[in-house]
Amino acid sequence: MSEDKTSSLNADSTNPLPLEDFIRQHFALLLKAQEEMRENQKRLEESQKRLEENQNKLREEMVERFMQLSQQNLRQEEMMGKLEERIGRLEVLALKIREEIRDLDYKVGPFIKEQINFRRSLDEVRERVGLEPY
């Protein structure tokens, strides 16, 4: 009985075809896995390349936008300088106008008093002559 079991095992282990088939299948699987690894490596390299291209594009866009903002900022600073200069000139002009108004006030006050006195004198003269006052 034990010989029957052993003889069947010996027969299976000495049969060259199943071992060769196993090795062929194993090599086929290894080759398939290696090919899949190459394809995955290729996809990974393509993805990395696209990522680097996108990073470069983004850097270029960021530099371009920075330059635009810098130029815009320079123009705004230039405009602010011009506005501040105008405001300064307007403030000087406003001070001159205030001084002229003050001078005119000083001149107009006595002129008005003189006109009032002249009017009173004229009214007195009209009353004396018999005419109605204004």
For the chain, which residues make up each domain, given as ranges? 19-129
Q: What predicted TM-score, i.e. pTM, was given to this entire model?
A: 0.46
User: Which is it for the CA torsion 122, 123, 129, 132, positive or negative?
Assistant: positive
The percentage of the chain sitting over the pLDDT mark of 90, rounded to a whole number, equals 60
Pick the closest to residue 39 from 53, 23, 50, 31 (CA basis). 31
Q: Report the pLDDT averaged over residues 72-90.
A: 95
Return the structure tokens found at 10.
Answer: 């010996």
Query: What helix, strand, coil percent values describe the chain, rounded to 5?
Result: 95, 0, 5
Residue 91 DSSP code: H
Residue type, 96: K
Q: Binning pLDDT at 50, 70 and 90, where does residue 2 land?
A: low
* HSE-CB of 21 using CA atoms within 13 angstroms: 4
Q: Write the pLDDT tens digit of every residue in 16-64.
A: 568 888 899 999 999 999 999 999 999 999 999 999 999 999 999 999 9
| Burial class of residue 123 (count of CB atoms within 10 Å of its CB; 0-12, 13-18, 19+) | middle
Average model confidence (pLDDT) across the chain:
87
Best CA proximity match to 123, nearest among 109, 113, 133, 115: 133
Q: Is residue 3 over pLDDT 70?
A: no
Please indicate whether residue 3 or residue 26 has the higher confidence score (pLDDT).
Answer: 26
